[in-house]
Each structure stands twice: as C-alpha cells, then as structure tokens.
Chains A and B, each alone.
Chain A
Amino acid sequence: MAFPQAKPQPPQLPQHLLRTIDCHQGAVRAVRFNVDGNYLLSCGSDKSLKLWSVGRGTLLKTYSGHGYEVLDADSSYDSSQVCSCSSDKTVILWDVATGQVSRKLRGHAGKVNCVQFNEEASVILSGSIDGTVRCWDTRSRKYQPIQVLDEARDSISSLKVAQHELLTGSVDGRVRRYDLRMGQYTGHKMKGYKLDCCLSNKDTHVLSCSEDGHVYCWDLVEGSLSLKLPVGKAVVQSLSFHPIETCLLTAMEGRVQVWGAQPEEAEDDTLAT
C-alpha cells in the first residue's frame, strides 16, 4: 500500500454529498472501498454483497451465497478477489469477475464481524463474535485456519492488517497488535470501546459514524471535533474513506452516500481517476 506524500495544504474534509446510491439490499451493514477507491462494496442484510462503481453509482455485480446478512467485506490488492463475512459464521472468498464462490470458510463459532485480506491476499483474517481471529490460507486447499488468535476475551469487533502487523479491536476493551516479525503482541487497554465503525483519513482525522445520524470527524492530534456531518436521521451503519482522495462513503439504512470535498469538481476528479 503505497501512500503518497503528505500534501502541504491542510487536509480537506468531505462535506458535500455527491450522490446517494440506493442499494436495494436491505440495510447496508458495511460499505467498503476497494484498493484504488474506484469501486465500493456494500454488504447488505439481505445476504447479498454488491459491487458498485463509485463514480457513476451503477451496480456492477451482486454476489449472493451467504446464508445470513453480510457484515463486512474486503477486496484484495488486485481487486480480483473479494472476501466477505456474515452472520452465518462463514467467510466467503469470491471471484470478482465471475461472482462465484471460490472458497467458503467455516470454523467460527459465531457470526463473523470483520474480515480483511493481508497485503498479498494470501491470508484472510476474520474476527468473530466468538472472540477469535482466524487466519485462513487462500493459497492452499486446506479449509482449516492456519492459526487461531484467541487471546481476546470477548468478541472481535474490528480488524486491520498492515504489512506484518495485525490490529484487532475487541469488545473486552482492548486493542491488540500482533507483530508477526517480532513474534509478540501488544495489548493496549482502552477506556471504552467505540460503538460504531471508526476509520481514519490520511491519518489526520478520525471519523466515526454515530447512532444519531451524523459522522463525526475529529482531528487526530488535537482531538477536537472538526466536522459533524449530518447524514440523515437514522443510524450511520458504516463508513469508509477513500484510500487516496477526500472521499467518504457512508451507509445509512439501505442507501450508501458518497461524500466529496468539493461539490462538483471533486466528482470530476473522481471520474477522471
């Protein structure tokens, strides 16, 4: 994941609603950008996973095969594969082009909250309500996880993989960082846990969706609230920030909103890229 150098100008925040996509798949449980930010995945509560074009807002593909509502999804570095997890305790690896299930991984004892590829999409990591993170191998034909990280005392709520490190957030109030290279993990005690999904931009701001229909945006360093973005009346289920640009996705009820920094030209930029 190569990130560009920090720009000198102060970072902008996505404040303008560019478009709203009605997903027609029930409540959208999670919305995710793909690696380059041109596509988005929406995880619906009607057991389907949908792939959309961010720029045009058109539906590209629907992936159905889950037995219960889809809770999270992630796309591989080359966008050839998508993994998704669901309340039906399974993690499914999809082939993007054909929309077929290329692998269905069972093993979690409860619904799977979050899923992530590693950098090379050779491992799928999934965190479940059963308090374990399972590492699934996508290269071999084995259907057993490579390793089960069961250090968490409670449900795993979020998961992030970066290079050789793995960050897990658990409902037991801790963030655990597993460092494969060092062979250790660091537990970090937190005061509380976030209610909703929380993502960061170019590491300058922390964005969090809230139950009051707003997206809150804090400055990472100062901790001051820099933006309170009203999305709607209902709960903001999920949000996802564009990996490069100032673009935000929010999911509320059955719709996905795309937010940009500038009203129109931002959209043009997005289209251009």
Chain B
Amino acid sequence: MAAGGDSDEDFVSFGTPLEPLEEDEPLKRPVPLHEQTVKDEKGRYQRFHGAFTGGFSAGYFNTVGSKEGWSPATFVSSRQQKAEKHHARPEDFMDEEDFSEHGIAPREITTSQEFSSSRRDEAAEKARAVSAQAALIPGDTLLEELITPARSSVGIDLLTKMGWKEGQGIGPRLKRKPRRQLKDGGSRKSSYVLPPTGSEESEDEDDEEFAPENVTFAPKDVTPVDFTPRLGVQGLGYRGLDPGRALLGRAADEHVNLFRPQSETRSRLFGERGRSSRRAGVAGQAFGVGALEDEDEDVYHRDSMSRYDTVLGEEEPGDGLYGWTAPEQYTRRRERNKDAAYLGKILEGFTLAQNPLEEKTIFPPPTLPRDYRPVHYFRPKVDVTRLSGVSSALAEALKTSKGHMVPEEPQQGGRHQLDSGQRGALLGEDVLKGPASVLDLLRPDDRQRLLSLRNASAHKPCRSDSQDSSQAPGPGPVLPASGLQQQEALAAWRGSSSSSSSSQSFKPFEKNPSKQARYELYLGGLRQGDTGALEQSLDPSMTEWERSRERDEFVRASILYRPSSSSLSSRFTRGELQEDEDAVEVSRDQEGERDAKQAAVQMKMFGKLTRETLEWHPDRLLCKRFNVPDPYPGSSVVGLPKVKRDKFSVFNFLTVPESRETAAPPQPLEPGKKSRWDVSEQEKEKKDEDPPSQAVSEGEEQSSDKKAEEEEEEEEQRPPMDLFKAIFASSSSEKSSSSSEGESDGEEGDAKEEEGRKEAVKLFSVAASSSSSAVTSSLHSEAAGSSQKSAQDEEEFGPKLPPPLPPAAAAAARGGAAPRYLLPEEEKTSRRSKEKKHKNKKQQKHKKEKKKKKHKKHKHKGKRKKEASGSSSEDSKEDEDDVQPSTDELLRRLKSIRPPQIW
C-alpha cells in the first residue's frame, strides 16, 4: 500500500498552511509609520503623542470623554429636597481601561467578606489590646496584627462547629482496629497526605502500641496536596532558598537511607541537593553558590556508593492510610523495586503511578497474499470514450494503461448504463408484451386528437424559430439548448465526406452496438444535411425518456467529435479551386450557392445575386454614439447572432405588402428570430404549396416588423405590383424552360405583366386570405375584376411548382425558412422610390417593376444554368441582352441623380 500516489493522502496536516508565495508577487511593503493606526476597543483612532508625552490620546482629543465635554452637573438643592452629598470615589474617574486587567485598579473576583469568617476572637483581641497597652512599645500590636493569620474561612467555622479541631483529620472517628484494616483497602482513597516531617511517624508508632479497645480516634490529619500553580519561571522541582533552615547546622555526610523517606538525608538528596553545606547559612538550589556559602565544590554533585544501602531492608513505615495523593515516600513503599529506578527522577509534586498503564495490545498486520502487488492504479477520471477527437489508437492505449491488476472491464459497463431491454436480455427475460407507449392505452380517437395537438404545438415553435434542427422534432419536446446544439452539429458535420469519416470515425458508443448503429445512422443523416436525422435514428421502441436522453447524447457526441475540417472551415473561406476533390466536400446547399454567386460574378451581374443580407446586432453604445436607435432594443446579442445566411427569394418580396399594411409596433427580438437561413431555393419554392404555414410565418413577420417608416406610409397607396410580378415572373420563367418565352417575356412586357399580376394576386390571396392582410384597395379591385380569369390561371399555375420533396426535405421546408428579414429589402426599395419621388409615380412603378422582374429573371436564369450543366449559349446571350439595358439604365439614373448620401 505504499504507492507513491497514496502517500499524499496518508499525511495528516494540522493548522492552516501559509499562503503560497507567488513568484511574481512583489514583496509586501511594511506599513509606513504614518499609516500605522492604533484603535481602542471601540474602534476609535488613538493618536500617539509620543512615549514621554502621555502615550496615546485619551478621551475626546485629550480632553474629556465626549464631544460635548463635561456636562455640568445640575446642582439643585432646596429646603424640601436636600441635595445628596455626593462622594466622588476614585473609581468615578476611571474608565474601563483602568479597571481592566492591566489597569490601575484591576477588578478581579475575590472571596467576599461574607465568606471569610467574620467572627473574631474577641477575647484574644482584648487580651492583645491589653497587652499592647502594657507593652513596652505602645504600637506593638501593629506588628502582631500583621502577623495575625488570615481570618478563618466559613468552611473552617463549620468544621469547628461540627467538632473538628485543628490538627485532626476529617471524617468519622475510628477505632484503632478498623482503621488498621482500612489501611489496605481504603487508604488509597483518602486524599490527604502527611507532611513529610518526622514528628508524626513516632506518633504512629505510639498509636500502634497503645491502642485501647473502646476508644475512637479522629482520623489522622493530613496536609493537603499543594495545588498552587507554579508562578515562577523556574523548572519543575525547583525549591527556593529556605530561610527557615538557614540557621540549622547540619551534619555533613549523613548516610542516605533510600528506603526511609522520612530521612532528612534522603529528602535532601532528592529535593535539596544544594543544601548539603556543612555550615550554617542560607543555601538552596536557586543560584548556585550563594554569598554565604564558602565552598562551591559541591555544585557538581558527585555521589559515592558509601552513601547508599547495599542491603534491602524491609521496614514498615507508619500506617498505610494514604491514598494516591499520599506523599511519595508513602506510596513508594508499595513498589519499592520499581521506585528504585525512579529515585533520582521523581519531581516534587509528582508520584509514581499506582497502576501501570494498560499496555495496548497490538495486533500484527494480516499476512498478505502471495500474489499481492502493492500498487494501486487509479481509474482515469475522464471516460476515455467520451474524449473528443481522440484517435481510436490512443483510446485503446488509455484503456490498456489502466493496469494489469484491473480486471477486464465488464462488457456492458455498469448496471446503470444498460437500458431496461439490455438488462432483460442479460437476464434472459422475455420481452414484455405490453403497450410500447402510453399512447397505445388511449382510445384511437383520443390518440388521434392528442397527436394532432402535439403536432400543431411542435410545428409552431419550429416555424417561429425556423431552426433547421427543430424542423423534425416529431413528438417530444426539444429543449432550446439541444436545438441549438443540433444546429451546431449539423453545421459541423455537413461538410464532412461520408466515406472518409465513417471509416475512421471515433465510436463513442462502441460498447453498445445497437446504439452505435443508431448513432452512425444519425451521423450519416447529418452529413447529408438531413435535419431530421436525429429523430429518425432513434429507436422508436424505446421509452420517451430514453429517447430524449439518447438524443442529447448523440447531439453532444456529434459536436464533440466533429470533423476538424468543419470546425476550421467556419473560420476560413474555402479556396477557389479545390486541389483534392475527395478530401473536402461542400454540401449541396453551399455548393449551389457558391455556384450561383460565382456564376453571377462571371456574368458580371453584380447585384442581388452577389449579395446577401444578414441580421447584425450593433452594440448599444455604438448605436448611441452614432445617434441611431437601437434596432434590437431587447437583444443582448452583439454582432451576428449565429452563422446564418439569407438569400433573396420570392418571399422577400411577398411579405412586403403585408408589412406595410400593419405597422406593427417594434417587437423585441424573438427567440425564433435567430434562425431562418440555409434554405435552398427549392425548399422555398416548395413552401408555396403550404399556404397556411406561410400565412402563419407571415403573420409573425408582420408582428416583428419594426421599421415601418414614414415613407412607407406614403407609398401605401401604390400597390406593390412589382412584387407579384416578381413571383409571376419566376414561375413563368421556370415554366418556360424552353426559354422561348423568356424572350417574349422581355419584349412584350406589359401584357404579360398584366397577366402575371393577376396570377400573383390570386396566389397571394390564397396565401394570406386567412390573415388580416387587406391588400390596398386598388389591388383588391383589380383582383376582384380578374377573379374568374385567374381561377383557371391558377390551375395552370399550380403544376409549375416543383414536385414534392422527399419526406425529409419536406419536413425541413415545413419547419424552417420563414423569410423573416425582408425589411432591408423593403426599405431599400422604399428608399429608392423615395429618391425618384419627383418622377411620375406611374412611370416609376413601371420602371421598378421592370427592374425587379429582370433581377428575378437573372436569378432564375443563373440557377437554371447551374442546374442544366450544359449551359445553352442561347440562354446566356439572352441574359446579356437583358442585363445590358437594366444596368445601363440604373447607372444612368445614378449618374443623373445624386443620392443624399455618398458612398
């Protein structure tokens, strides 16, 4: 068990460690003198006057205790009310500091007068007084009083009342015999000790000799153990000079009788070694050789064997009455042999223990098994399989490095990592026949209702935030966080090629093959940009809870281990030319977009095709500095909310009229606002089929419109024909894929335009009839006028739409891509129209329509061109024809009209 890793934990540490010294930390400067402050106990600053001028200031600036100073005592004395005579005591002028421990009048707890005996020996006092009078020196009694012992205490009074006399022991009177018997058993318990003076010893012997049968004796008096604390700084066992012995002459070398404790010599040997001076004089242990000692040869005591007994003589000293507190001399008698070892070492006030300490039984450690290896391997804290980006080889290495002694990991991990099905399979249980879900328990119609309700609720949020990831949430709530993560995962995995990553991808659920298979299914979906992949990959037979947990796990795992190229690609632009085609692959969406832009650039059609508009949140302070209202007042996002992309689509135009008619109050950023991008053109057009959903999204669009500006109000009269035209043009151009109509479209503009307008109106009314979108009056009249006509047009119009998408894409289209940020475009048009306001309105409208239409056409043409790989020269020529006039016109206008601001 002595592994290096364990050694740290074996230590026991006391106290708080010092703070570790920082290397860079500058040394703490000592506090300079003028910053050192002294406060009294109330936290007031005290000023220092200097040691010789009074120390610290006292009172209030050295005056008195308060700011007001002395409050003068109002002395009132009348005939009826005599003023009390006030005796000022010294304590009145003292503060708490003076009463404190180190003050001038310290207060301490003492025995009060009551508890010391008040009764005095009056007779003795009288006698003393008389004698004092009779004495030679009249003041003689003074000295006597000084010598008078302290008054006897209450306890002594009580004792004397009970018959106690000085010199007696305390306790019931005893006969001689029982006392004798008691000596063995009870003596230890009695708690008094005789002073080691020789006088009582003889008494004891006397007692033993003349013990009458019927006489009881008071118990022996004992001197109490001195419990006074040591006050001096001398060491233990020190005894000061004893003046009482100073004058006693002493025989020099007495024989030391170790075993007679009462012997003077012995006591001198132990306690009073220094007092072995032969001559009279003050001698002691204290200061070595005193002035009165004439020789100091004995400072270093040399013992000689002649002073010791060589024969063990048994002698019974006195009685055995003394208990554990008995003087050492008595107790030592018991274990003489043992005492001998301690003779020179026992200090004053200490006795040898009567009972030896119990020896602790120490059990030997168990014998270790033979094959035991004292090494402990810690299991790595991080689960290896969860590490992101770890190569499988490294993971394997980590796994094997856990140590030889660690048994092979259980195949399935812990019991809790298995789901119920797996546990059942391990136990060999049959699969329970029962409803897979709660829904099965419901009646069919109830279930239907529930499902429809749930679908509705599931679709609404996903439309509102139009996240790619939450498009296909199916049943079950999707947490917003996980939705974001899904989004991230999707973005991460989209670019990765399926072939390369599937071969060497990291398998996080390797232990659970079925789970891993599901995960790979999910990854596969991700790679194809399938946003519903997560739901599809989950096992429908699992419970809801398990599914949601697995959903989270998958998303997290896919984010953690994402192809590195994708994480980097978010930061860098892709090279124009890809050297190795197989290594990097762009997903379908992006590629198409790229192609569209590239194609537009190559065709020199700068403009809408090459532009994109994103939502961007300026900092609040920045808005303030630019004197511009914050476009997103409630938003805490700064910069781009997410990686998002917007393309100009039909819906940019479709929503314009709606936003105009409802000047909705600005609404703070909705949670759903963030995401509505990355929707391919196809999907957007697909949306045409789904009028209700579109209506919903447009309704939201209205509410989120905040930049309904004044100029828009002005232009409200004008029907936004061009927008419908744009719709129509796109569909018509698509319809006429043979491109013959495209030319005619350009030429016979007006007739076609008229027709297209009707169609568009029709379409739009279908889309937005449910909402309160009352298109402007002129528009209405027109629409009404051509209603029958457009009915058949609509039929014609319908089939032009792209064929229904595969289910996954359909789900994507349903959920995502609500064209949300169309405002810029709208404003742009309005601004431009404002510029041209002085012109004829009709003309302007016409022109604008044309322009827009052309843009639309270009766009679609470009797309078509992309799709049809064999680019027809006819098309491109036609494009150029279309382009030239429009750009020229635009530029000419630009030249002739100066915009208010300059770019």
Is B79 in contact with chain A by the CB < 8 A criterion?
no
In the complex with contacts A123-B626, A137-B621, A203-B898, A178-B616 CB distance below 8 A? yes
Q: Complex Cα distance A146/B621, Å?
A: 7
Is A80 in contact with chain B by the CB < 8 A criterion?
no
Contact with A along B878-903 (1 / 0, CB 8 A): 00000000000001101100110111
In the complex with contacts A139-B625, A146-B625, A186-B613, A204-B618 CB distance below 8 A? no
Choose one: B612, B622, B707, B901; the contact of A123 (CB below 8 Å): B622
Is B191 in contact with chain A by the CB < 8 A criterion?
no
Chain B residues closer than 8 Å to A149, beta-carbon distance = 639
Distance in Å: Cβ of B447 to nearest Cβ of chain A: 45
Q: Complex Cα distance A187/B602, Å?
A: 18
Chain A, range 104-146, C-beta contacts under 8 Å to B = 118-120, 122-123, 135, 137, 139, 146
Closest to B646 in A: A184
The answer to whether B619 touches A147, judged by C-beta atoms less than 8 angstroms apart, is: yes
The answer to whether B618 touches A221, judged by C-beta atoms less than 8 angstroms apart, is: no
Chain B, range 479-499, C-beta contacts under 8 Å to A = none
The answer to whether A153 touches B891, judged by C-beta atoms less than 8 angstroms apart, is: no
In the complex with contacts A137-B625, A182-B827, A187-B618 CB distance below 8 A? no
Is B597 in contact with chain A by the CB < 8 A criterion?
yes
How many residue pairs, one in A and one in B, have C-beta atoms under 8 Å apart? 128
The answer to whether A187 touches B612, judged by C-beta atoms less than 8 angstroms apart, is: yes
| SS of A interface (majority) | loop
Distance in Å: Cβ of B789 to nearest Cβ of chain A: 39
In the complex with contacts A118-B626, A135-B622, A204-B895, A3-B707 CB distance below 8 A? no
Distance in Å: Cβ of A78 to nearest Cβ of chain B: 16
Q: Complex Cα distance A186/B824, Å?
A: 9
The answer to whether B631 touches A191, judged by C-beta atoms less than 8 angstroms apart, is: no
The answer to whether A191 touches B626, judged by C-beta atoms less than 8 angstroms apart, is: no
The answer to whether B614 touches A184, judged by C-beta atoms less than 8 angstroms apart, is: yes
The answer to whether B573 touches A153, judged by C-beta atoms less than 8 angstroms apart, is: yes
Chain A, range 214-237, C-beta contacts under 8 Å to B = 220-222
> Looking at chain A, what size class is its interface with the partner chain?
35 or more
Number of interface residues of B (CB under 8 A): 46
Closest to A204 in B: B895
Is B70 in contact with chain A by the CB < 8 A criterion?
no
The answer to whether B891 touches A147, judged by C-beta atoms less than 8 angstroms apart, is: no
The answer to whether B898 touches A5, judged by C-beta atoms less than 8 angstroms apart, is: yes
The answer to whether A190 touches B639, judged by C-beta atoms less than 8 angstroms apart, is: no
Choose one: A162, A167, A184; the contact of B613 (CB below 8 Å): A184
Q: Complex Cα distance A189/B571, Å?
A: 17
Chain B residues closer than 8 Å to A191, beta-carbon distance = 601-602, 606
Is A212 in contact with chain B by the CB < 8 A criterion?
no
Chain A residues closer than 8 Å to B231, beta-carbon distance = none
Choose one: B615, B626, B707; the contact of A180 (CB below 8 Å): B626
Distance in Å: Cβ of B208 to nearest Cβ of chain A: 102
The answer to whether B902 touches A203, judged by C-beta atoms less than 8 angstroms apart, is: yes
The answer to whether B892 touches A146, judged by C-beta atoms less than 8 angstroms apart, is: no
Chain A residues closer than 8 Å to B707, beta-carbon distance = 181-182
Chain A, range 170-195, C-beta contacts under 8 Å to B = 172, 178-191
Distance in Å: Cβ of B903 to nearest Cβ of chain A: 6
Distance in Å: Cβ of B586 to nearest Cβ of chain A: 15
Closest to A181 in B: B628
Choose one: B606, B625, B631; the contact of A190 (CB below 8 Å): B606
Choose one: A122, A135, A184; the contact of B615 (CB below 8 Å): A184
Is A151 in contact with chain B by the CB < 8 A criterion?
yes
Q: Complex Cα distance A222/B884, Å?
A: 12
Q: Complex Cα distance A59/B697, Å?
A: 63
Q: Complex Cα distance A220/B611, Å?
A: 20
Q: Complex Cα distance A120/B628, Å?
A: 12
Chain B residues closer than 8 Å to A123, beta-carbon distance = 622, 625-626
In the complex with contacts A135-B619, A149-B639, A183-B616, A220-B895 CB distance below 8 A? yes
Choose one: A118, A120, A184, A220; the contact of B616 (CB below 8 Å): A184
Q: Complex Cα distance A162/B900, Å?
A: 11
Chain B, range 589-644, C-beta contacts under 8 Å to A = 597, 600-602, 606, 610-619, 621-623, 625-632, 638-640
Contact with A along B66-82 (1 / 0, CB 8 A): 00000000000000000
Contact with B along A150-163 (1 / 0, CB 8 A): 11011000001011
Is B823 in contact with chain A by the CB < 8 A criterion?
yes
Chain A residues closer than 8 Å to B628, beta-carbon distance = 164, 180-181
7 extra A-B contacts, CB within 8 A, seeds A118-B625, A221-B891: A151-B640, A181-B629, A183-B632, A185-B640, A191-B602, A191-B606, A203-B903
A selection of 29 A-B contacts at a CB cut-off of 8 Å is: A118-B625, A120-B625, A120-B627, A123-B626, A137-B621, A139-B625, A146-B619, A147-B619, A147-B639, A148-B639, A151-B616, A160-B903, A167-B903, A180-B622, A180-B628, A181-B628, A182-B631, A182-B707, A182-B823, A185-B613, A185-B616, A187-B613, A189-B597, A189-B601, A189-B612, A191-B602, A191-B606, A203-B903, A220-B891
